[in-house]
Structure formats: structure tokens, C-alpha cells
């Protein structure tokens, strides 16, 4: 059975350890929920050979703080 999509919501340290497995699994869509823009950028760079970013949406879940959640939808190319 193949996954239609994978949803990632990693800790602040990111999902670097999952990137090779995601590239092998190659789900048609990935939704990545990030709390750290730096690790999000690093992880998306690891996916760029097989995925394109379709949408990016920042969400202010913690008003009056610098924290922001970022949701990214990416598709297999």
C-alpha cells in the first residue's frame, strides 16, 4: 500500500533524519508543519530534487511572541 500524503510535524530540530526515507517513499504530497524557519529551509532543501513547493502559509499561533508556525504543501514532480 502506498501513502497518498505524509504529514510532518517535527520538533524544533526538524526532520532531517526523515528526508532520505521520504525520498524513497515518494508520497505524492507532503504537508510539513514547522515551528522553526531555519530547520524548515534545511529540510525543504533536502526535498528539492523530487518535490516542488505548492503553498506556504505562516500561522500566528502564539500572539505577541516571535513564534510562528509555518505550513508547507509540496508535491512530487
Coil, strand, or helix at residue 23?
helix
The catalytic residue among 18, 19, 35, 70 is 35
65, 70, 76: which is closest to 32 by C-alpha? 70
18 is catalytic: no
User: What 3-state DSSP class applies to 72?
Assistant: strand
Q: Return the active site residues.
A: 35
Amino acid at each position: 500500500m502506498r501513502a497518498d500524503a505524509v504529514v510532518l510535524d517535527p520538533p524544533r530540530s526538524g526532520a532531517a533524519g526523515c528526508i532520505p526515507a521520504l525520498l524513497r517513499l515518494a508520497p505524492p504530497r507532503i504537508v510539513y508543519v514547522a515551528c522553526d524557519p531555519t530547520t524548515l529551509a534545511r529540510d525543504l532543501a533536502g526535498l528539492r530534487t523530487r518535490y516542488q513547493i505548492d503553498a506556504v502559509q505562516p500561522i500566528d499561533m502564539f500572539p505577541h511572541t516571535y513564534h510562528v508556525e509555518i505550513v508547507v504543501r509540496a508535491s512530487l514532480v
